[in-house]
């Protein structure tokens, strides 16, 4: 079967990553069907609730996708209601896997997006897939729980799990750090309030992340967990400095204690050796290139 005749189901298609994932798969010949929780008249889109197990089973029996990319999740770590993380990220994913398993067609690949947040604060340096998880907030626990739950379906479904580290790009919500900083520079604001400036993060470009996901759909390393990361960490001070260089605009940075999270993960750098071995030639642009794109784009 060629990619041109393959049907891809993307959950969370209207989210930041979902829109780029849809464009990536369409560009490579897939027929894309999108699923989300909000109503829309967009062609090829279906409204569905991950917590509605019966509705999901009916939907999957109708769609019978060749590949599934499961991006739908509560993704903002600062989200206030802990229960919602577990309802959507854990129970919702279980409902989806059950619906796929009984839909009457075994897909070629089911890619589940987890998160590098599962590594928590416990390990410094380069974090590989062998680094013991130590989740430090409900979001991360819900994602790790999802991974363990998914392992119960490995004998029935061709599951691949990704652990993306931080990534950004045009169109990401301003509740995410890089987008917030870029937005302030684009507005040429005089001051920005941030939390701890001495956190180090591994930033990838969303366009490279969806290319990695597509590559994994095509090689189907069943049962594997794969970091998606640049392998390079930048502090928030570095990010501010890069934006100042690009825009020639200086911002006053003030630290708001309310933004300093308890259980803050200080350093997250991902070892991407496994991804690069599975998807030869994969790379993500340097952070400056992503920031250039974000700062230049008319939004």
The predicted structure's pLDDT at residue 5: 80
Taking alpha carbons only, the member of 251, 248, 117 closest to residue 176 is 117
Write phi, then psi, for 251 (nearest 5 degrees): -115, 140
Taking alpha carbons only, the member of 49, 53, 19 closest to residue 36 is 49
Tell which wins on pLDDT, 193 or 76.
Answer: 193
The mean of the pLDDT values for the chain is 93
In this structure, the dihedral spanned by the alpha carbons of residues 46, 50, 55 and 58, taken in order and rounded to 10 degrees, is: 70
Taking alpha carbons only, the member of 246, 93, 226, 98 closest to residue 178 is 246
Say if residue 299's pLDDT is above 70: no
Radius of gyration of the chain (CA): 19
Q: Which helix (H) or strand (E) holds 32?
A: strand 31-36
Say if residue 79's pLDDT is above 60: no
110 and 66 in contact (C-beta within 8 Å)?
A: no
Tell me which of 3-12, 143-152, 279-288 is least confident.
3-12
Give pLDDT tens digits for 190-242: 999 998 888 889 999 999 999 999 999 999 999 999 999 999 999 999 999 99
Specify the pTM: 0.94
Average pLDDT over residues 142-148: 97
The predicted structure's pLDDT at residue 86: 94
Domain ranges of the chain: 3-169+203-231+268-284
Among the CATH numbers 3.40.50.720, 1.10.3210.10, 1.10.10.10, 2.160.10.10, which is that of 3-169+203-231+268-284? 3.40.50.720
């Amino acid at each position: 079967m060629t990619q041109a005749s393959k049907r891809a189901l993307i959950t969370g298609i209207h989210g930041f990553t979902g829109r780029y994932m849809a464009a990536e798969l369409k560009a490579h010949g897939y027929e894309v069907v999108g699923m989300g929780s909000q109503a829309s008249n967009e062609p090829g889109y279906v409204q569905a609730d991950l917590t509605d197990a019966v509705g999901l089973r009916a939907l999957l029996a109708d769609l019978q996708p060749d590949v599934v990319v499961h991006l739908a999740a509560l993704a903002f770590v600062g989200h206030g209601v802990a229960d919602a993380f577990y309802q959507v990220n854990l129970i919702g994913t279980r409902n989806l896997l059950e619906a796929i398993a009984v839909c009457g067609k075994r897909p070629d690949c089911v890619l589940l997006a987890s998160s590098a947040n599962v590594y928590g604060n416990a390990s410094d340096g380069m974090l590989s897939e062998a680094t013991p998880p130590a989740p430090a907030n409900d979001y991360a626990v819900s994602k790790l729980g999802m991974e363990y739950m998914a392992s119960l379906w490995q004998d029935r479904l061709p599951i691949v799990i990704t652990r993306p580290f931080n990534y950004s790009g045009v169109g990401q919500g301003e509740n995410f750090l890089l987008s917030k900083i870029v937005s302030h520079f684009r507005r040429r604001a005089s001051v920005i309030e941030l939390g701890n400036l001495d956190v180090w993060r591994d930033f990838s470009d969303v366009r490279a992340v969806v290319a990695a996901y597509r590559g994994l759909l095509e090689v189907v390393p069943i049962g594997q967990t794969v970091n998606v990361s640049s392998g390079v960490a930048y502090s928030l001070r570095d990010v501010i400095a890069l934006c100042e260089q690009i825009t020639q605009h200086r911002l006053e940075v003030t630290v708001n204690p309310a933004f300093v999270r308890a259980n803050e993960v200080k350093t997250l750098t991902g070892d991407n050796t496994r991804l690069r071995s599975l998807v030869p030639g994969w790379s993500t642009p340097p952070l400056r290139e992503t920031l250039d794109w974000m700062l230049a784009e008319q939004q």
